[in-house]
Amino acid sequence: MTRVTDIEAILQTLTLEEKISLLAGRNFWETVPIPAKGVPNIKTSDGPNGARGADFTGGTPAACFPAACCVAATFDVEAAHQIGQALAEETQSKGARCLLAPTTCIHRHPLGGRNFESFSEDPFLAGKLASQVIQGVQSRGVAATIKHFAVNEQETDRFSVDETVSERALREIYLRPFEIAIKEAKPWAVMTGYNSVNGHHCDSNPFLLQKVLRGDWGWDGLVMSDWGGTNSTVESLNAGLDLEMPGPTIRRKVPDVVAAVKEGKVSESTIDDRARRVLRFLERLKAFEDPSIPAEKAINKPEHQKLIRETGARGAVLLKNEKQVLPLSKEKVKGKKVAVIGLAKTPLAHGGGSASVNAHYKIAPWDALQAAIGDIAELVYAKGCHSQRLLPPLACDETAGKVLGLDGKPGFTMQWFDKDTNKLLDTRHGRDSCLLSPILNNEGLWKVVEYSGDFTPAVSGSHYMGCTGLGSTQFFINDKLIYEQKGTTPDAMGFLFGALSENEFTYSFEAGTTYRLRVRSLPPIDVPGLELLNGRTGLRLGFQIASEHDADLIGEATALAKESDYAIIFTGHDPHWETEGQDQVSFNLPKDGSQDALVSAVADANSNTVVVNSTGVAIALPWLDQVAGLVQSWFPGQECGNSIADVLTGTVNPEGRLPVSFPKKLEYAPAHGNFPGTYDNGQLKVEYKEGVFVGYRHYDRFGKDKVHFPFGYGLSYTTFGFGTMQVAKQSADLYSVSVDVSNTGSVAGGVLVQIYAGKSEPLPDHPVKSLVAFMKIRLDAGEKQTVQLSVSARDFGYFDEKRGEWVVLAGRYDFTLGQSSFDAIQTIPVTIEKELSYKP
C-alpha cells in the first residue's frame, strides 16, 4: 500500500535555511537531502537517447537508443512510447529516478548543433512524439523532464544569446510542442533553456514560467534549470524556477537568499512554494517510501536491443533508388564484389554532448554487412577520406607505438598537484589514453593535472600531434616545451564535448627510441558563461602517423569502386562534428569537402553507388544527381550497423519519412540571414524574422525547386494505393478522416498516412497548410486496411496576439492526404461555418 506523505507537515518543520537548501542540487546529479527532517534526495541522469549515469565521459555502460530525429522519422507513436518505457528502465538501472529528456525544441535551421536531439521542424509531430516518450517514461515511475523551455534552437552563444520572437511564432511553433506534450502527458519536470527570450533568461522569464506554463497550461510540476543555467538569485526564485542544477549552488547560497528574504526582495511564501514543488517531486518519485539510491548497473536487455534495431531501421529514409539499385538482397549480390567505403567501420550511433552514452556496444555497418551478406558476396573496404575533427587520442596501440606509465606498465600515469604549492596529491596509473575531459565531480577541483608516459613509436617520421586544455596547458617531450596554450580555451563547450578544431603540429620521431611525454594543465579561473567549469581541469593529446594523415585515401577508394559491382559510401557526422555546445561548421559534410569529393569520385567510377548518410540534420547534396541510391539513416543507436544493413539488404523495408525538409541551398532555409544572429555591444542577438514560416511552412510559399526532398518524403521497396478519403464532422471543431490503404506491391511494408489542413485560398500571413494528423501502418503484400484519424480544428488555427486567443477563421479549408508536404494525393474541402476561438 502506497504511503501518503504529508508535504505540508514536513514543510512546516523546516527552517528557512533548510527550505532554501532544497532549491539547488547537492552535487552534479543529486538533489539535497535533509535526513534529520526525513527529506530524502534523488538522482537525475541524462539523457534523450540513453541513461548515462553519473560519469560524463564513460562510466557504467548503458543502452544507446535512436536519436529523436530518427524516432521522428518513424512517425510511429507506439515506438516512441516503447522507447520511453525502455529509457525509464535504463534510468532505474543507473540508480536515478529522473530522466533529463525528451528534448523537444524545433529544427529551426539546418546548422542547429542540437537538432539531432529534437524531433522535427513541425511542432505537431514533435509534440505528439514527445508526449508518447514522456508517457512511456512515467508509466514506469520515472520522472520525464521535457526540455529546453524554450526557444533553445541554436548552440552558438547559447548561455547569453537573446532571441526576439513574436508571441504568435512562440505560440504556434516554439511553444506548441511543449504545450501538446505537457497537456497530454503531464511531465513531472520541465527544464529551462540557457538562452534569453525577448530580453529575459529562460530561468527567470515571467512570461514563460508564470503566464504560459503555470498559468495558461495549468501545469504543476517541478521547474529545474539546465546545468549551469541559473542566471540570477532573486529573479529566478520569483519567476518560478524551483531547482538550480547542478550543485553545489552558485546562485542560491543560503546566506544570500536569507538576506534577500529579509530585504523583502523575495517573500518567504515564495521560498515555501519553491520548496513545496521539490518535496512534491520527491513524493511523486516515491523517495519518501524508499530513499535509497542504488548503485549503477549495466543491464544489457535483449528486448532493448531488439527495440533499438527495429526503430533504427524503421527510421531510415530511402531518398533515392534509381533502377532499384536497392535492396542489395542475397540474390542480387551473390558472387558480386561490393566496395564498402567511408565511415563504414565507425558506428555513428549518437551525437555529442549530454546525449552521448557509453553504449553497451556499437555495431558498425561493416560488421553488420559482413554478417548479412559476407558469406555470398565479396566485401572490400576503403576509408576514403580524412573526416575526423581531432587527431585520435594517443593510446597504447601497435599502430602508433607503445606508451608505458611511470610504473612501467601500459598506459599513462595521471598525477594531481596542488595549484599553489605544486605538491603531489595523488597518482594513478594505467590511463588508457591521454584524453581527460573536465572532471564533473569535485575530485579534481582547483588542482593541476599532469599526464606522463614513455612513448616508443612504431614508425619513424615527422608525425602529427594536437594538444588542448581547458585551462593553460603545456606539452613537453623529454622535458622540452613543444606546445603551449596560454590561458583558458576560447571554446570551453567545444573542449567539453570534443568539438573544437585544435592546432596540429609535427614532431620528428625515430622508431624504437623512447620519448618521455608530459602534458600539464592548470585549472581555469574563469570560463565565460560556464562558471560550473571554473577550477575543473581537462586536457587531451592527439597523435597520427604521417603516412596515415597524408595518405591519398580518395584515390584508393575510387580504384576499389571501379573494380566492384556495387559501391556503398557511408558519410556523416561523428559526435565531434554534431554535438551539443556548437552549431554545425558547414552545410556540407566535413572535413573541408573531403566527404563530398569522395562521393563524387566514387560515383564517377561506379554507376551503382549508394550513399548512406548518418547526420541529425539536412545536409548539402552536391553529388545527388551522380549517385543511384541515398539513405538517410540519422543516428540509430547502438544497433546502428544492423539497422542500416537490414534496410540495405531488404530484411526491413524502409518506411521512414523526413521529419525535416532538405533544402537545396542553405540560403533557402527560412532562418537564413537570422541565424545565429549578430552582436550588439558584445551580446549575440537574433530576431526570428521568419515568424511562423518555419520548415515546410516556408517552402510551401516558394515552390518545390527550393528543396531536394520535402517534409514527409520517403520511398519504399513496395507500392501503396489509397482509396477515396472521407471527412466527417463529429462536432463543431472535431473531424474524422478515413481512407483505405492497400499494399499494391510484392513485399510487406510500412506507409505513412499524413493529413494536412489549410485555407482553400491561403492568406499571406498564414501558412498554406499544417500537419494535423498522421498514422504509420504496416501492411503485408496485397493487404488493405481502413485508417481512421481525428482532426481538431484548433490544430489548423492561428494565435491572435491582440485577442490572446487561438482562432479558426470561418471559411473553406482543404484537408489534404499527402505523399509528403509537397505531393497531394487527394484534397477534400471542409467549411467552417462560424469562427472558432480557444483560450491559450
Q: Which residues are catalytic?
A: 226
- The length of the chain is 840
**CA–CA distance, 250 with 152 (Å, rounded to integer):** 22
Residue showing cell 556496444: 361
**CA–CA distance, 165 with 170 (Å, rounded to integer):** 6
90-120 burial, b at 16+ Cβ within 10 Å, e below that, comes to bbbbbbbbbbbbbbbbbbbbbbbbbbbbbbb
Cell of 541: 593529446
Cis (ω within 30 of 0) for the bond into 47?
A: yes
Cell of 43: 538522482
364-to-346, 368, 578 alpha-carbon distances in Å: 6, 6, 18
Cell of 468: 588542448
Q: What count of other Cβ atoms lies within 10 Å of the Cβ of residue 218?
A: 9
Closest by alpha carbon to 292, among 1, 142, 96, 141?
A: 96
Is the separation of the CB atoms in 632 and 621 below 8 Å?
no
| Radius of gyration for the alpha carbons in the chain, expressed in angstroms and rounded | 27
Q: What count of other Cβ atoms lies within 10 Å of the Cβ of residue 492?
A: 23
**CA–CA distance, 213 with 189 (Å, rounded to integer):** 11
**CA–CA distance, 754 with 713 (Å, rounded to integer):** 10
Strands 317-321 and 629-632: antiparallel
The set of residues, in sequence order, having a beta carbon less than 8 Å from that of 603 and lying 6+ positions away, is: 567, 609, 623, 626, 627
**CA–CA distance, 615 with 634 (Å, rounded to integer):** 5
149-to-212, 572, 777 alpha-carbon distances in Å: 11, 29, 32
Angle (CA) 19 20 22, round 5°: 70
**CA–CA distance, 73 with 637 (Å, rounded to integer):** 14
**CA–CA distance, 423 with 418 (Å, rounded to integer):** 5
Is the separation of the CB atoms in 158 and 676 below 8 Å?
no
Is the separation of the CB atoms in 74 and 776 below 8 Å?
yes
Residue showing cell 585551462: 471
Cell of 616: 541529425
Cell of 322: 534509381
Is the separation of the CB atoms in 658 and 754 below 8 Å?
no
93-to-82, 87, 368, 630, 747 alpha-carbon distances in Å: 17, 10, 28, 38, 40
**CA–CA distance, 339 with 321 (Å, rounded to integer):** 18
754-767 burial, b at 16+ Cβ within 10 Å, e below that, comes to bbbbbbeeeeeebb
